[in-house]
Amino acid sequence: MSGSGEREVAAILEECRVLVEDPTYPAVRRWREAHPGGKVLGHFQVYFPEEIPHAAGMLPVKIMGAGSTVQIRKADARIAAFVCSIIRSSLELALTGRLDFLSVFVTPPICDAARNACAVWVRNLPSLNSQVLYLPQNAASPHAAAYLRDEYRRIAGVVEEAVGRPITDDGLRRSIALYNENRRLLRDLYRVKRETPWLLSAVEAYTLVRAGGLMPREEHNVLLRRVLGLLPEREAKRQDKIRVVFEGGYCEQPPLDMLAVIQDACYIVDDDLLIGLRWLTGDVPTDGEPLASLARAYLDGSSYSPVQHDPRKPKPEMLLRRIRESHADAAIVAAPKMCEPGLEDQVNHIRALEAAGIPHLVLEFEEKMTVFEQMRMEVETFAESLLFDFA
Ligand code: SF4
């Protein structure tokens, strides 16, 4: 790649890293300056149909904790210390005014902690319209699609009230087309991870993806298209590293330094990091009834995670498929501390990996971790033992 191409990639990655690490949401503040009176909807992990607020002219933003960038003080007085960090740090962001740009906050009831957190937001942030998006408990039920379409309609009503105008079907179709493009580009990015992981490190790929939840998706599409165009020219040599799938990044996010520790010893060729941004695995139709199409896509054309229960998608088998399809040698099955759904699935994953004879490393993390020496040793030992076996 030419020097100017590499400099351009580096500049884009740096821009994304700033967005990921700055708890003041600089891209949101820039958008509001450019759109005086523009409204912002924040949504908690894991998946939310951003097309709905986007079609109303709102800026949808992912609320995904604060990593180690804020000290949790005010939230600790309102939520018990045994609750996972992302719930507490997200509330801390709100209580300290860092989310003062939000008009609406929506959380899906992905677990007991998230379900109860919404009530805490309602009580402590009375000027913010906080809502639960009630996703269907039984995704395989024949009534789930109609139920979810109606629930999306209810949320669309909340959004319409916030902006003071109706959402049209044509507006929704345009937003679906924009998000389809974003999901296609993310799939292309993951293709690079699988096929030529030496061209894009795990941390680089992750910051590129995560930035999408923090900036207007139109801008994210431009940035992804540019990077994807430049990557094939990158001069990077393939290294002798094992190929792993990382599982456990669906909700609370592992620190960038943890991913850096893993990428030093392994190629992460697939993962479930921020799976909500890639939840819909194909294009959502842009004809027909848009909210019904979004509901069907959530149920029938989607990935898997510990927070969705769908008997059609047995999670251990889905993990084995992810490993097979990415030609991974091994898996790293991580879970956030205090995360009941994640720790429960971790047990099932381990059983399935043992039965299939797939090497795996089990890790636990917290978004605010800052010391990784022990983890580095574990990852290196794991990777070296496999390289030795393969030799
Ligand atoms: S990390 Fe786990 S426990 Fe915490 S909000 Fe997410 S799913 Fe719930």
Tens-place pLDDT, residues 205-245: 999 999 999 999 999 999 999 999 999 999 888 999 999 99
Mean per-residue pLDDT, 352-366: 97
Per-residue model confidence (pLDDT) at position 1: 66
User: Average pLDDT, whole number, for the chain?
Assistant: 96
pLDDT bin (cut points 50, 70, 90) of residue 390 is confident
- Give the range among 64-73, 189-198, 269-278 with minimum mean pLDDT: 64-73
Neighbouring residues of 383: CB distance < 8 A, sequence distance ≥ 6: 241, 242, 265, 266
Integer Cα distance of 228 and 248 in angstroms: 26
Residue 50: name the closest of 224, 194, 172 by CA: 172
Helix or strand or coil: residue 335? strand
Integer Cα distance of 16 and 25 in angstroms: 11
Distance 12 CA to ligand 1 centre (A): 30
pLDDT bin (cut points 50, 70, 90) of residue 6 is confident
Integer Cα distance of 158 and 142 in angstroms: 26
- Residue 340 Cβ inside 6 Å of ligand 1? The answer reads yes
Q: Say yes or no to pLDDT of 8 above 70.
A: yes
The rounded Cα 217 to chain-centroid distance in angstroms is: 14
Give the pair of three-digit tokens for residue 142: 């024949």
Q: What is the pLDDT of residues 76-88, one digit of tens each?
A: 999 988 999 999 9
Mean per-residue pLDDT, 20-48: 96
Region of 328 (left: φ > 0; alpha: ψ -120 to 50; beta: rest) is beta
Using alpha carbons, list the distances in angstroms from residue 214 to 33, 41, 136.
Answer: 15, 11, 26
Which residue, judged by its Cα, is nearest atom 3 of ligand 1?
339
Which residue, judged by its Cα, is nearest atom 5 of ligand 1?
114
Q: Say yes or no to pLDDT of 57 above 90.
A: yes
Which residue, judged by its Cα, is nearest atom 6 of ligand 1?
251
- Residue 114 Cβ inside 6 Å of ligand 1? The answer reads yes
Per-residue model confidence (pLDDT) at position 3: 81
Residue 299: name the closest of 64, 11, 47 by CA: 47
Mean per-residue pLDDT, 302-315: 94
Contact 144, 299 (CB under 8 A): yes
- Residue 87 Cβ inside 6 Å of ligand 1? The answer reads yes
Q: What is the pLDDT of residues 165-184, one digit of tens each?
A: 999 999 999 999 999 999 99
Q: What is the pLDDT of residues 100-132, one digit of tens each?
A: 999 999 999 999 999 999 999 999 999 999 999
Beta-strand runs (E) in the chain: 40-44, 59-63, 102-107, 129-132, 242-247, 266-271, 330-336, 360-365
- What radius of gyration do the chain's Cα atoms show? 20
Integer Cα distance of 76 and 72 in angstroms: 6
Tokens 């590293």 belong to 241
Helix or strand or coil: residue 250? coil
- Residue 335 Cβ inside 6 Å of ligand 1? The answer reads no
CB atoms within 10 A of CB 336: 23
- Residue 386 Cβ inside 6 Å of ligand 1? The answer reads no
- Residue 110 Cβ inside 6 Å of ligand 1? The answer reads yes
pTM of the model: 0.96
Q: Percentage of the chain surpassing pLDDT 90?
A: 95
Residue 49: name the closest of 138, 146, 126, 155 by CA: 155
